[in-house]
């Protein structure tokens, strides 16, 4: 199938790009064909975000979004920030003690899954073809080495690699330009960065793992528009960093979540268990008691910022949004910047398509990004990872405050962090073992009951989408050195070390995978690669 533009991923950046391309085509009285492929069973099924949305980019795309019925219903009314000093104690920080970019006046508490569903409707109304359930599994290249499109994965292949009765061959989608908007640690984006050397001269990307639940709480405890952020306990006990959030949305619901930076060094750390511990803190528990858990999910976050941002253009296409890593880590927000990258991409694409000789590489894109507020935001927060990783939690946070509140992000130096997150792990014998409390099944829960709430489903008889370069490494190397951390960093119980009559073996429960990509990032041997399973597979988040 031939298109002018193919977009991989129906998230904020991909859908914003699709909508803006069609708007610009109409403004220039030009017919363009745009196709969006999405691996989730529906648009929004794989979208997981906090989320407090800054509507800046949305207003640029659709100035009348409120009249158009965009699902932004709950405006932020209060901002609270806590430093959790211990298991039972916390200090509420005054507003002046918080970095200015983290304030949320004018922002909205939203379900980004629902925002993306709405954006998909607008895209289709503009003439975009949106195909959910089709996983882009391969980048296609022309004879000159430029990207000429993607191929969707075959369906109906057995675990042994044989064609089943349900076999359906994948499709090739060709385009003049292909935009990759897969989200953090995109499978194809990772390949493109390597093939074209897009990260040459850049810091390695840095990541966090975000775990989120939606709760329905008693009406008397619900404060629509209240935003709570916090950091400190329990991560500080292991010398790790990250933070927590609790957002009061509409309908007596709160969105709660926990982000663990993946540069932690103690292999005994379990981000999932740290989240469960945090829910029992009095400042969190006071909202959750008497409530019920509705949803669960997890997703990696690219938070390296400008210093880790690869070159986003290459022959035949662009990397946009979190596939490149456009999140503003000081604001703890990436949706508005992802959308803006899509809008800028649309301008570069349409400008090229309207020219007499469309160039193979959209070199104008870089200049357009630099001239936008997207670049200004990323430049002003470029030192965040450097401060936090080089100076530690307390001093790093103080440095961020000075940088943002005193200098406005314009300090005359740039800090770099050249050590990848996976390389930071220390041997298990050098680190304190962590004993996590058992879940009470009221506030805290085990992984498998949580995965159940994510509505995750994969066709069991298919090739495993979690591939090992060397199947011996988990038991022969990772286990004796690091106590095989995959057992703990995965928030879905995918990886187990099982002992039977034959000894210890590494078991992969791929059907549990919620597509968070943490294993692809944190495995100390870089032995695990996440590839696309069959279309429709994975979580089915209703409103995350």
The domain spanning residue 521 has which CATH number? 3.30.70.20
19 and 152 share a domain?
Answer: yes
**Pick from 377, 446, 387: which is nearest to 413 by CA?**
387
Q: Do 521 and 207 form a contact (C-beta atoms < 8 A)?
A: yes
3-class DSSP assignment, residue 415: coil
The reply to whether 366 and 316 lie within a common domain is yes
The 3-state DSSP class for residue 148 equals strand
Contact 193, 175 (CB under 8 A): no
For 85-232, list the strands marked E by DSSP. 91-92, 108-109, 129-132, 136-141, 147-152, 155-157, 163-168, 172-180, 207-216, 226-232
Question: Per the domain annotation, does 520 fall within a domain?
Answer: yes
Q: How far apart are CA 360 and CA 318, in angstroms?
A: 11
Reported pTM: 0.96
Treating both helix axes as pointing N-terminal to C-terminal, what angle do 12-27 and 112-125 enclose, rounded to 10 degrees? 20
Beta carbons of 177 and 362 less than 8 angstroms apart: yes
The pLDDT score that the predictor gives to residue 395 is: 87
Which helix (DSSP H) or strand (DSSP E) does residue 479 occupy?
helix 479-482
Residues 277 and 323 in one domain: no
Domain range for 219: 70-110+205-302
Tell me: do 173 and 217 sit in the same domain. no
Q: Which residues of the chain have pLDDT under 70?
A: none
First to last CA, the chain: 32
Cα 115 from Cα 71, distance rounded (Å): 6
Q: Which residues, in sequence order, are CB contacts of 139 under 8 Å at separation 6+?
A: 147, 150, 178, 188, 191, 192
Give how far Cα 270 sits from Cα of 221, 289, 301, 434, Å.
Answer: 30, 24, 17, 9
pLDDT, position 392: 80
Element (H, E) at 338: helix 335-353
What's the CATH number where 257 sits? 3.30.9.90
Q: How far apart are CA 403 and CA 394, in angstroms?
A: 14
Domain-terminating residue out of 252, 274, 302: 302
Tell me the C-alpha distance between 53 and 104, whole Å: 9
Same domain, 372 and 361: yes
CA 317 to chain CA centroid, Å, is 21
Domain final residue, candidates 259, 278, 302: 302
Same domain (yes/no): 57, 169? yes
Compute how many other C-beta atoms are within 10 angstroms of the C-beta atom of residue 161. 8
In terms of domains, do 325 and 374 share one? yes
Residues 242 and 208 sit within 8 Å (Cβ to Cβ): yes
pLDDT of residue 391: 86
Residues 174 and 148: beta-carbon distance below 8 Å: yes
Q: Residue 158 has which token pair?
A: 């057995």
Of 302, 319, 342, which marks where a domain is finished? 302
Do 335 and 297 have their domain in common? no
Classify 323 as helix, strand or coil.
helix
Query: Are the C-beta atoms of residues 541 and 297 closer than 8 Å to each other?
Result: yes
Residue 369 sits in the same domain as residue 341: yes
Other beta carbons within 10 Å of 423: 11
- Torsion angle, alpha carbons of 389, 391, 397, 398, to 10: -160
Domain count, the chain: 4
pLDDT of residue 491: 98
Tokens 């680190």 locate to 431
d(CA 325, CA 306): 8
Whether 55 and 157 map to the same domain: the answer is yes
Beta bridge partners of 504: 499
What pLDDT is stored for residue 385 in this prediction? Answer: 87
Which residues are CB-neighbours of 338 under 8 A, at least 6 positions away?
Answer: 11, 12, 13, 16, 181, 320, 321, 322, 326, 327
Dist. CA 241–CA 55, nearest whole Å: 28
* Residues forming a β-bridge with 296: 213
- Residue 91, token pair as written in the block: 């200090």
Same domain, 493 and 466: yes
Mark whether 60 and 88 lie in a shared domain. no
Residue 442 falls within a domain, yes or no?
no
């Amino acid at each position: 199938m031939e298109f002018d533009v193919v977009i991989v991923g129906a998230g904020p950046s991909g859908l914003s790009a699709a909508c803006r391309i069609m708007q610009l085509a109409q403004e220039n009285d030009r017919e363009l064909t745009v196709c969006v492929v999405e691996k989730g069973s529906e648009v929004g099924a794989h979208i997981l975000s906090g989320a407090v949305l800054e509507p800046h980019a949305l207003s640029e795309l659709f100035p009348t979004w409120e009249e158009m019925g965009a699902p932004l219903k709950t405006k932020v009314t209060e901002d609270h920030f806590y430093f959790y000093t211990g298991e039972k104690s916390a200090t509420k920080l005054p507003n002046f003690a918080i970095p200015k970019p983290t304030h949320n006046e004018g922002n909205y508490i939203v379900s980004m899954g629902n925002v993306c569903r709405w954006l998909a409707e607008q895209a289709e109304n503009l003439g975009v073809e949106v195909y959910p359930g089709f996983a882009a599994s391969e980048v296609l290249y022309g004879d000159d080495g430029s990207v000429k499109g993607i191929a969707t994965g075959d369906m109906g292949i057995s675990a042994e690699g044989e064609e089943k009765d349900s076999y359906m061959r994948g499709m090739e989608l060709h385009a003049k330009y292909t935009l990759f908007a897969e989200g953090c640690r995109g499978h194809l984006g990772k390949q493109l960065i390597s093939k074209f050397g897009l990260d040459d001269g850049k810091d390695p990307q840095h990541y966090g793992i975000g775990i989120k639940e939606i709760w329905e709480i008693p009406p008397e405890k619900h404060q629509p528009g209240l935003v709570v952020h916090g950091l400190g306990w329990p991560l500080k006990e292991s010398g790790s960093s990250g933070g927590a959030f609790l957002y009061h949305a509409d309908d007596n619901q709160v969105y709660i979540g926990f982000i663990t930076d993946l540069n932690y060094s103690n292999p005994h750390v379990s981000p999932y268990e740290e989240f469960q511990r945090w829910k029992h803190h009095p400042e969190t528990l006071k909202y959750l008691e008497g409530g019920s858990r509705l949803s669960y999910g997890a997703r990696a976050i690219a938070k390296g910022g400008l210093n880790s941002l690869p070159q986003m253009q290459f022959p035949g296409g662009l990397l946009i949004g979190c596939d490149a890593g456009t999140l503003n880590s000081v604001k703890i927000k990436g949706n508005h910047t992802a959308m803006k990258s899509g809008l800028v991409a649309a301008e570069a694409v349409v400008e090229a398509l309207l020219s007499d000789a469309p160039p193979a590489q959209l070199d104008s894109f870089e200049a357009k990004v630099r001239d936008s507020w997207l670049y200004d935001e990323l430049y002003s927060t470029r030192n965040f990872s450097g401060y936090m990783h080089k100076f530690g939690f307390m001093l790093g946070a103080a440095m961020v405050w000075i940088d943002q509140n005193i200098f406005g992000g314009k300090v005359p130096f740039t800090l770099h962090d050249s050590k990848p997150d996976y390389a930071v792990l220390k041997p298990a014998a050098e680190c304190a073992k962590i004993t996590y409390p058992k879940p009470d099944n009221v506030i805290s829960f085990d992984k498998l009951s949580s995965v159940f709430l994510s509505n995750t489903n994969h066709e069991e008889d298919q090739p495993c989408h979690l591939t090992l370069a060397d199947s011996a490494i988990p038991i022969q190397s990772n286990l004796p050195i690091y106590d095989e951390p995959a057992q703990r960093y995965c928030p879905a119980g995918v990886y187990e070390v099982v002992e039977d009559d034959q000894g210890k073996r590494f078991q992969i429960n791929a059907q549990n995978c919620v597509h968070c990509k943490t294993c692809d990032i944190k495995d100390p041997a870089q032995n695990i690669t996440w590839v696309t399973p069959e279309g429709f597979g994975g979580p089915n988040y209703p409103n995350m």
